[in-house]
Structure 1
Amino acid sequence: MDRSRVSTGTEWEEHVGYSRAIRAGDTVRVAGTIATDDDGAVVAPGDAYEQTKHAFGIVADALADLDAAIADVVQTRMYVTDIDEQARVGEAHSEFFADVRPVATMVEVSGLAAPEAVVEVEAVARVE
């Protein structure tokens, strides 16, 4: 089976030994992604809506690097530190996936890798 991977070059990828995204055959999986800028700083600290949009933008870039697109996404997962933000997170999700409508899961967690991060997202895509 062919296997391709994408790295965004963050220190955590090298330190932990993971890839931002991997394509194995016709499936692309994008690792848990928080909203960070090119220097690794969290974008829009505490703002669930903006962080969700930014994180899914990173996901879209990783998919494109593996010849996939948002339209190919079949599953998303969203981890939030405050479930009361679910409407705002869902609003941002809808801006990417309203026409795609993948299966989606949102769960509340006690914390994420960066204290300023309030949302982490994952995606799975299938490419024909």
Structure 2
Amino acid sequence: MSRKLISSGSDFERKIGYSRAVVDGDYVFVSGTTGFNYATNSISDDVTEQADQCFSNIEQALQEAGSGIDKIVRVTYILPDREDFKPCWPVFEKWLGDVRPAATFFEARLLEDAMKIEIQVTARV
């Protein structure tokens, strides 16, 4: 099977040597994705809006990979403040309520203070 690299177009990917997503065999591995809105070049102050934007960014990468949200088998949520996790549950339900992938959450600092959530997924092609 061939390997396909998918980029968001961010210079940051090149600078630290990673791809937004990698298709390898029957799987798509989407890197930790933040709530940065590439269309407006901004990030919301609201964690739930960031969570929703994360999934929009993930959806775009999955579509480019020939996959989709409904093919997600694993999700990892990373938040700097665990108190922000529960307010995001309705967003998670909106995007993954019918998909119900295996999931993990952990609390950790993110690259920038403006980032309130980062989400990574693995999906089938």
Letter in 1 for 2:111: A
Residue in structure 2 matched with residue 91 of structure 1 by the alignment: 90
Is this contact kept in 2: 1:42–1:117, CA < 8 A? no
Cα RMSD of the aligned pairs, angstroms, is 1.4
Q: How does 1:28-43 map to 2 (within 5 A)?
A: 28-38=28-38, 41-43=41-43
Which residue identity is paired with 2:49?
E
Deviations 1:26-81 (A, max 9, x none): 00000011111227844212x21111110111000000001000000000001011
1:123 to 109, 121, 124: 121
* Seq. identity, %: 30
Amino acid at match of 1:73: I
Instruction: Output the TM-score relative to the length of structure 2.
Output: 0.94
Matched, 1:113 2:111: yes
1:36–1:43 Cα contact (<8 Å) kept: yes
1:82-123: CA deviations, max 9, x gaps?
A: 1111112222111100000001111111x2112101100000
Normalising by structure 1, report the TM-score. Answer: 0.92
Aligned length: 125
Structure 1 stretches of 4+ with a deviation exceeding 4 A read: 39-42
Q: Is the 1:81–1:108 contact (alpha carbons within 8 Å) kept by the matching residues of 2?
A: yes
Hey, what does 1:50 align to over in structure 2? Answer: 49
CA pair 2-31 structure 1, distance change in 2 beyond 3 A: same
Gapped runs of 5+ residues in structure 2?
none
Residue of structure 1 equivalent to 2:5: 5
Counterpart in 2 of 1:19?
19
- Partner amino acid, structure 2, of 1:79: I
Q: Residue 84 of structure 2: SS of its match in structure 1?
A: helix
Cα–Cα, structure 1 residues 39 and 70, in superposed 2: closer, same or farther, change >3 Å?
A: closer
For the residues of structure 2 that align with 1:6 and 1:68, how far apart are their CA atoms?
A: 12
